[in-house]
Structure 1
Amino acid sequence: MGVSERKEKEKEIRRNDIIDAAEKVFFSKGYDLATMDDVAKTAEFSKRTIYVYFNSKEQIYFEIMIRGYKLLISMIDEYVSNSKDDGITKVRKLGEVFFCFSKHHPNYFYAIMNYENGELDFSSGIPDKSREQCYELGEIIFQYLSDFLEQGIREKIIREDIDIKSTAILLWSFTVGIFTTLKKKKNYIVEVHHKSVDELLEVAFNMLTKTIEK
């Protein structure tokens, strides 16, 4: 390895160290309360060094979301690569994969959801490359859902009269709403209504798929 390659490698390691530290800070304190000073202290770098690699707190947050998106996509890819399911089953399974992601990687899940819900303003100080990569990764997931709907229509098990893009957006929205509600109200649902999360998810997925079945 030459000198330039070694320097690039060291730069990438340091950059990832900063993102690792930022995850700890953002996930424990929340994005709004976290500061670049917190990130620098956790990473054990000077604040000036942090700004050599990232020009804002928002940019680092995008990098965290990118990690989350890549992880979710890898989980979807694993299912798709081994699946011979029909289109409507794939739509349902995609929801199950997403729920699994929310359970096992809740910090990434909510990092992505906070951005998608428009709770954070990333309109300033963000390089187009970071923003566009997030959009591109999000579109990969959206395309999977659209492809599954199209497959189901070809197989004549999903209604032909649906608008694929509108249906995909609404299915995504309903699913996120269900996950969020079940997480926030889990104790109440279990103690008062004696229903488990898994049981309600089964009912929810059945209801959603019935709306698009032919």
Structure 2
Amino acid sequence: MGTAQRKEKEKEIRRNDIIDAAEKVFFSKGFDATTMDDVAREAEFSKRTIYVYFNSKDQIYFEIMVRGYKILIEMMETEIQYTNGKNALDKIKQMGKVLYKFSQEYMYYFMTIIEYENGELDFANGISDKSRQECYALGEKIFTYLTSALKSGVEEGSIRYELDIVNTAIILWSCIVGIFTTLHRKRNYIMNYHNRESNELLLNAFDMLIRSIENGGIAK
């Protein structure tokens, strides 16, 4: 390995060390309460060194989302292999189950993505184009799984033909984000006042969303 390659590898290791440290602080304190001083302290680097690698706290947040999206995509692609031969509605249901499994096994990554979906970081300053575009590309890959399933459903007749594919995908994703957010933040309230388990409500919500797009589902 030449000198240039070794330096580049060392730079990448240090960069990942900073992201690792930021994860620990973000996941324990929350993004808003975390400062770059906190990240530097956890990483055992000076704050000046942190800024050599990252323009802002927001950029690090995007890098953490990239890690989460990659895990979710790997889970999606693994499960998609087992849905060959099934209709589109079954595929969409399976995607919902994968998302639920991801939320349980990788809760902090999941909440990082959900918090972003509920925030306004898209056009925040201090986020490099590379970090932003990589994150967007991964998010759109997941979105494509959904639009592809919807398109297949319309073609095979299991999903209502009059639905606009992109509009429907955006609405479904927005509903799912809202459901997860509410059930996560109001879990105790829902249990204490309505005696309902969040996990059960989540599965019911998935069924309702599926019925809303199913061909003939509304009339049932």
In the superposition, the TM-score normalised over structure 1's length comes to 0.93
What is aligned with 2:179? 178
Decide whether the 8 Å contact of 1:152 with 1:158 is kept in 2.
yes
Q: For the structure 1 residues 116 and 10, does the alpha-carbon distance in structure 2 shift closer, same or farther, using more than 3 Å as the test?
A: same
Q: Distance in 2 between matches of 1:106 and 1:78?
A: 19
Higher mean alpha-carbon deviation, 161-170 vs 107-116, is at 107-116
Q: Distance in 2 between matches of 1:35 and 1:62?
A: 15
What is aligned with 2:68? 68
Deviation at 1:190?
3.4
What is aligned with 1:189? 190
Deviation at 1:118?
2.2
* RMSD value, Cα: 1.6
What is aligned with 1:52? 52
Counterpart amino acid of residue 214 in structure 2? E
What is aligned with 2:29? 29
What is aligned with 1:160? 161
- Superposed structure 1 runs of 4+ greater than 4 Å apart: 119-122
Post-superposition CA distance 1:85-107 (Å, at most 9, x none)? 21011111111111111122121
Q: For the structure 1 residues 106 and 33, does the alpha-carbon distance in structure 2 shift closer, same or farther, using more than 3 Å as the test?
A: same
Q: For the structure 1 residues 159 and 106, does the alpha-carbon distance in structure 2 shift closer, same or farther, using more than 3 Å as the test?
A: same
SS at match of 2:213: coil
Counterpart amino acid of residue 73 in structure 2? I
Matched, 1:16 2:30: no
Q: Distance in 1 between matches of 2:123 and 2:107?
A: 21
Please, which runs of 5 or more residues in structure 2 have no aligned partner?
216-220
What is aligned with 2:5? 5
Decide whether the 8 Å contact of 1:114 with 1:120 is kept in 2.
no
SS at match of 2:137: helix
What is aligned with 1:126? 127
Q: Distance in 1 between matches of 2:61 and 2:68?
A: 11
Percent identity for Structure 1 against Structure 2? 60
SS at match of 1:82: helix
Q: Distance in 2 between matches of 1:109 and 1:202?
A: 17
Decide whether the 8 Å contact of 2:22 with 2:39 is kept in 1.
yes
